[in-house]
Structure 1
Amino acid sequence: MGRSRYKVLGNQPHFITCTIVNWIPIFGKPELAQIILDSLSFLQKKQRLTLYAYVIMENHLHLIVSAVNLSKEIGNFKSFTARSIIDTLKENKNNHLLNQLEVFKPKHKTAQQYQLWQEGFHPQAILSEEMLLQKLEYIHNNPVKCGYVDEPGHWRYSSYRNYFGQKGLLEIEIIE
């Protein structure tokens, strides 16, 4: 992770953020958001990642997750989802989004044509119940704050419903 002030602290829950290059609104397309959901579900089923909370916005996502090797699992997640999303964009001939992913790719990345994710994921260890509640509230209210919905439960790409005994798009481990 280099000189980042963010560090993974063992196998405990971390709040993380993954952002699309130049904040391009990739996940406004449901089939691309589904790639994220499917990948997270896969990592859960293979017991490589424990998911406690999530929200997928149009150009970034927030998670509260833990893993034995969180940096490796998030790196694999970002690599797999980037390949899958770029392949889907190519299949659908979505040249507009592909052109943006090419233009906003860092210039030093000469071995690849496109870049989907910004580098890093800014892990913040959840060190107290107060911090956990603050991060849960932040995640679940992010769609309201952005003006996408009036109530957090109206955003389908979120774990908010899970915390109120309703079915969400992904299974999560409820932190009590």
Structure 2
Amino acid sequence: MSRYRRPEIPGGVFFFTVVTCNRRPVFTTDESVNALRAAFRRVRHARPFAIDAMVVLPDHLHCIWRLPEGDSDFSGRWREIKKATSRTLAPQSNTRKERSIWQRRFWDHAIRDETDWQHHLDYIHYNPVKHGHAERPDAWPWSSFRRWQERGAYPHDWGRSEPAEIADMNCE
């Protein structure tokens, strides 16, 4: 069995990609996305962390988290978020006691600096356009883009075309 090495950076900032099982389009309704939101709220209440940005697409999500000082356990948080979402959306399990909502693992990247953070923020917010789910980032309902735009971080017409800084990024 492979042993995955995750970065141990207490208080770190991380980008994540989490994919549904077999890329099945699970998050296509407000109800399913609200189940995911409820799972995030529950886990954040028990084990706090900050979410800088997030986008939920039908078959995957991307987000940037900031962990508290002295805490590096993002894997445990993801485990609890996935379990809580799965219990709500797939109450029946298979013979291995699995619910077919999520892929078993996730992809993580430790954010190195402000430029790396900005590129991943842009990647998250452009993702619905990249995948053909929206014509503009502000048209996708399950994204933090509008919150960032209201703060003045993005001009009104941002994302009408793919930003050059993220054109070669592939975090899927």
- What TM-score do the two structures reach when normalised by structure 1? 0.74
What are the superposed Cα offsets for residues 36-58 of structure 1, whole Å, 9 maximum, x if unpaired?
12222333445522111000000
* Inter-partner Cα distance in structure 2 for 1:61 and 1:8: 22
Which consecutive unaligned segments of at least 5 residues does structure 2 have? 152-172
**Comparing both structures, which one devotes a greater share of its residues to helix?**
1
Deviations along 1:144-163, whole A, 9 cap, x unmatched?
Answer: 01111111011110010111
Q: 2:115 maps to what in 1?
A: 130
Contact 1:49 1:66 in 2 (8 A): yes
Which amino acid letter does the alignment assign opposite residue 117 of structure 2?
L
Quick one: which of 113, 123, 127 aligns to 1:142?
127
Structure 2 CA distance, aligned partners of 1:39 and 1:11?
A: 22
**1:106 alignment partner in structure 2:** none
Structure 1: segments with no counterpart, 5+ residues: 91-100, 103-109, 167-176
Structure 1 partner of 2:81: 77
Q: Give the 3 Å change call, closer, same or farther, for CA 10–24 of structure 1 in structure 2.
A: same
Kept after mapping to 1: 8 A contact 2:47/2:77: no
Task: Return the offset for 1:165.
Answer: 2.1
- TM-score by length of structure 2 reads 0.76
Question: How far 1:137 sits from its partner (Å)?
Answer: 0.8
Whether the 8 Å CA contact 1:8–1:14 is kept in 2: the answer is no
- CA displacement, residues 107-147 of structure 1 (integer Å, 9 cap, x when unaligned): xxx42253211112221111111111110111000000111
Residues 18 and 5 of structure 1, relative CA distance in 2, 3 Å threshold: same
- Tell me the residue number matched to 2:170: none
Q: Take 2:89 and 2:123, find their aligned partners in 1: how far apart are those partners? A: 26
Match of 1:34 in 2: 34
User: Take 1:58 and 1:26, find their aligned partners in 2: how far apart are those partners?
Assistant: 6
Contact preservation (8 Å) 1:78, 1:117: yes
Cα distance between partner residues in 1 of 2:25 and 2:128: 14
Deviations 1:47-78 (A, max 9, x none): 52211100000011111013322111111111
How many residue pairs end up in the alignment? 147
**Could you say if the C-alpha distance between residues 9 and 43 of structure 1 is closer, same or farther in structure 2, counting changes exceeding 3 Å?**
same
